[in-house]
Amino acid sequence: MPTWVLRAKNPEGEFLRAAGCQWVTSSGYMDCITATGKHLGHFPSAKILEAFRKLPEEERTMPASALPDLKPEQRVVPEPPNKGLVLKVHTRAMSRDDKGAFRKVTQEDYPLMKVDAKRFHEQSHYFGPNTDYMWITESEWRDLIPAKPIKGKKLAIGKAIAERLALFHLMPRRLTSEGAGWGKSQLRTVRLDLLVDEVSAEKIRFSVQGFAHLGSTYDAPKATTPNGPLPFGYEAPLHGIVEFDRAKDRFTRFDMIALGDVWGRWGDANNKSQTVERPGRTPILIAFELAQGDSPTLRIPPGGNGSYVGPKSGYFSSAK
């Protein structure tokens, strides 16, 4: 829950303030509270977890019936589009072995953490998987389904979805900042197509093919660290499988992966190198899957912050 919700003049803000919360961000300021609003401490720890376990059941859980529904005018955190699609997005830093196969990162992969095992351990969350959510409106996903599907036919995914995916979700910096996104001027190219692989009375199966390039063009001599001269960049081929149930009129599968490389200076608040920066081209894999179920976490807004899908963000208009 971001800080702007804490400050909101609505029931959610009132609850957080009454619980003693001061800052609620992803950068290290945290508050641990119970379902009923009892403040346990500022940072998760074994001591706080033990204190939570000792609480009475009614302090640890709260039935949904005890929480009043918010009126539309009271909401500050937006809901997913009505009858829209929610895709769960996973971002992870990887490396390659001597044969070019992907492997997990190690401390040796990061020059700025090579001699600091403690920092590598403390910042392990920067390697992923980071979880985010992509929203697609009902009218947008309906445009993906051909009225008369023909096996072998290629269909271009609309500009709105393709640019939203590239600008807001093909962003390696999400590993270190929930609000990171590309400016529209940084979009060099994005292409996303559906190829009809299978057609029956029950379903349509597509394969996804595409490519995206954002930020700088790779220049090996300049891709150094720390504080190298090459600006941040990312490019990735896109592959996936999508299935649509014609009888139920809904998607049952939407799997896609960006097998991409990142380069250049990540940049902190002062545009200096971050410890996750590596020289050369290094793999950042971003995977998409259909979010299914009714878990509250599946309603988290893109970027973890409702303002990123607001009118000024350009999320649904691509006018960033």
In this predicted model, what pLDDT tens digit does every residue of 3-47 receive, in sequence order? Answer: 777 788 888 888 878 877 776 555 556 778 887 778 888 777 888
Q: Are strands 154-156 and 130-136 parallel, antiparallel or unpaired?
A: unpaired
Tell me, yes or no, whether 128 lies in a domain: yes
Q: Are residues 123 and 248 in the same domain?
A: yes
Q: Tell me the mean pLDDT in the region 93-112.
A: 95
HEC profile of the chain: CCHHHHCCCCHHHHHHHHCCCCCCCCCCCCCEECCCCCEEECCCCHHHHHHHHCCCHHHHCCCHHHCCCCCHHHCCCCCCCCCCEEEEEEEEEEEECCCCCEEECCHHHCHHHCCCHHHHHHCHHHHCCEEEEEEECHHHHHCCCCCCCCCCCEEECCHHHHHHHHHHHCCHHHHCCCCCCCCHHHEEEEEEEEEEEEECCCEEEEEEEEEEEEECCCCHHHCCCCCCCCECEEEEEEEEEEEEECCCCEEEEEEEEEEEEEECECCCCCCCCCCCCCCCCEEEEEEEEECCCCCHHHHCCHHHCHHHHCCCCCCCCCCC
Position 318 in a domain: no
Instruction: State how far the Cα of 127 lies from the Cα of 122, in Å rounded to an integer.
Output: 11
Q: Are residues 161 and 107 in the same domain?
A: yes
Total domain count, the chain? 2
Work out the percent of the chain whose per-residue pLDDT is above 90: 57
Residue 315 domain-assigned? no
Q: List the structure tokens of 186.
A: 């940084």
Is the residue at 9 inside a domain?
yes
The per-residue pLDDT for 108 is 94
On whether the CB atoms of residues 320 and 183 are closer than 8 A, the answer is yes
Tokens of 287: 């995977």
Task: Say if 109 falls within a structural domain.
Answer: yes
**How does residue 210 score in pLDDT terms, banded at 50, 70 and 90?**
very high
Residues 96 and 165 reside in one and the same domain: yes
* Pairwise pLDDT comparison (216 vs 310), residue with the higher score: 216
- Cβ–Cβ < 8 Å for 179, 305: yes
* pLDDT score of 199 more than 60: yes
Q: Which residues contact 25 (CB under 8 A, 6 or more apart)?
A: 2, 3
Residues 170 and 63 in one domain: no
Radius of gyration of the chain (CA): 22
What is the per-residue pLDDT across 46-55, written as a single tens digit (0 to 9) for each? 888 898 889 8
Q: Are residues 65 and 119 in the same domain?
A: no
CA pair distance 29, 16, nearest whole angstrom = 14
- Mean of pLDDT values over 271-287: 94
Domain of residue 39 covers 3-74
Structure token pair of residue 43 = 């940072």
**Domain final position from 74, 98, 129:** 74
Among residues 35, 52, 129, 63, which one has the least CA distance to residue 90?
129
Q: Residue 45 domain-assigned?
A: yes
User: Is the pLDDT at 320 greater than 50, yes or no?
Assistant: no
Q: Are residues 169 and 224 in the same domain?
A: yes
Angle at alpha carbon of residue 183, lines to 179 and 188, rounded to 5°: 130
**194 and 105: one domain?**
yes
Measured between alpha carbons, how far is 307 from 301 in angstroms, rounded to an integer? 9
Same domain flag for 120 and 180: yes
Looking at 53, 74, 95, which one is the last position of a domain? 74
Q: Is 69 found in the same domain as 89? A: no
Phi, psi for 61 (deg, rounded to 5): -135, 155
pTM value is 0.83
User: Based on the domain organization, do 33 and 182 belong to the same domain?
Assistant: no
Residue type, 171: M
Cα-flanking dihedrals φ and ψ of residue 119, to 5°?
A: -65, -40
Residue ending a domain, choose from 74, 100, 127: 74
Q: Specify whether the CB–CB gap between 237 and 216 falls below 8 A.
A: no
102 plus 38 within the same structural domain: no
Contact 55, 33 (CB under 8 A): no
Q: Is residue 79 part of a domain?
A: no
- Does 61 share its domain with 94? no
Residue with tokens 């590596």: 278
Q: Establish if 51 belongs to a structural domain.
A: yes
For residues 308 and 204, the model is more confident at: 204
